[in-house]
Amino acid sequence: MGTLSIEHPDKVYIGGKWLVPQGSGKLHLVNPASGDVICAVAEAGAEDVDRAVAAARAAFDTGPWPRLAPAERAGLMRALGAQLEARGATLEAMWIDQVGVPVAMARGVGMGAGALLNYYAALAEGTRFEDVRPSAGFQSKVAVVVREPVGVVAAINPWNGPLVGMLMKVAPALAAGCTIIMKPAPETPLDAFVIAEAAEAAGLPAGVINLLPADREVSDLLVRHPGVDKVAFTGSTSVGLQVAQICAARMARYTMELGGKSAAIILDDFDPAQTGPMLAPLVTQLCGQACINYSRILVPRTHYRDHVASLAAAMAAVAVGDPWAETTAMGPLAMGRQRERVEGYIAAGIREGARLATGGGRPSGLDRGFYIEPTVFSDATNDMVIAREEIFGPVTAMIPYDSVDEAVAIANASEYGLSGGVYTGDTDRAYAIARRIRTGHFTQNGREFDLTNPFGGFKKSGVGREGGPEGMEAYVELKTVFLPSTPASLS
């Protein structure tokens, strides 16, 4: 176990100060590898929501942050990134001990945080926030199209990616000039404490970043609060639909990254011997608790059994165990309730007639913690619950197809549209198939995750995009100013 030390576990961060929360509640954090409580932190309440919104509102309406030159914001963002990089060992330990990710995956997460902030700092410096254009109107000669920050942002993040997931919202919001209220998942709030500590050390103005560690009721209060201009939410589709309805009722802006049921399509030129080595890591990464994992694998019927055998062998060989062991490739599920959920889906797959090619139970010798075996179902059909619903565990269903048209139809026959992939040596075929699949994210022979490019989904997988320049565009409003001539400051 690593160090989970934070400076102010009993406080919330509001308006540039560490304050005692209004309530006396605590969030108790559990290590998924052991099931033991590892620490407790303050729990914010309803009055803290009002305090945080007021602080973020004041920082936006009258504070310096939205009025700084982009280069000045960029300098402070780089300082924030440097502070997070300096806390890299702590952030790695937090991801391991809160979520159960293997140390090999957690290593370098602090550097990744710094890189993301540096990317958006550079983007802020290079963006034309004021664009002078000719006007074809009757009275004006010039139109200045201005990108202005959307305002106060509620950043609501899930438990599986507590650092990078939060920074996917915080970094572009800061670049655009917004102020932020971080609402981390109650199971994994420690990373957000570190972000707040780093913001204080980096000298960000008071109220630009605020922290509310709390349960889900506080998320609801934030979403409904009239002082919040935009909600950036990552989580389940069911909750996302509720958030969208609330935001729509008051015309608040929102972006959402929700669930997925991503399909990998294996074409007939792909060697079955490569199926297991290449796909097993993309099913078991984060113990399957990633919305972009391949939870459906579509296989040509002519080579179906060979591909099943390859993946089953590779999944059975995945090293499951202590997340702190260098040899571990997959740790536990993050919570007891998550293991119960995954076990329920495995039981449903068996009831519906799918065949367990490997896995389905608790790994031998791991009697404590929330472990589950990497699991492959064969003889699955796309109408089974294991092929329709997001399991969020290391479970995949292998579905046979007879033609590429059928494979495309199966891949698209989902209420989700987040990610997907195709396995073939022919890039022209891969691109042609990618254009036919209704997802926001698609890769040939793997699964790329690159936050310098847009990430998000179609259908019930979300609204809007995170990452890339498009990620910052989600935090601006457009204003058109008509003038008789170009202002001297823009000449």
Catalytic residues: 257, 291
> How far apart (Å, rounded) are the C-alpha atoms in residues 253 and 152?
10
Q: How many Cβ atoms from other residues are within 10 Å of residue 491's Cβ? A: 7
202: CB partners within 8 A, 6+ apart: 76, 79, 80, 82, 83
CB 328 within 8 Å of CB 319: yes
Q: For helices 70-86 and 88-99, give the axis angle rounded to 10 degrees.
A: 70
Nearest Cα neighbor of 55 from 187, 182, 193 is 182
**What is the Cα–Cα distance from 258 to 439, expressed in whole angstroms?**
12
Report which of 73, 103, 93 is spatially closest to residue 4, judged by C-alpha positions.
Answer: 93
Task: Name beta bridge partners: 154.
Answer: 181, 231
CB 438, CB 458: distance < 8 Å:
yes
Residues listed for the chain: 491
Between CA 13 and CA 211 the distance in angstroms is 5
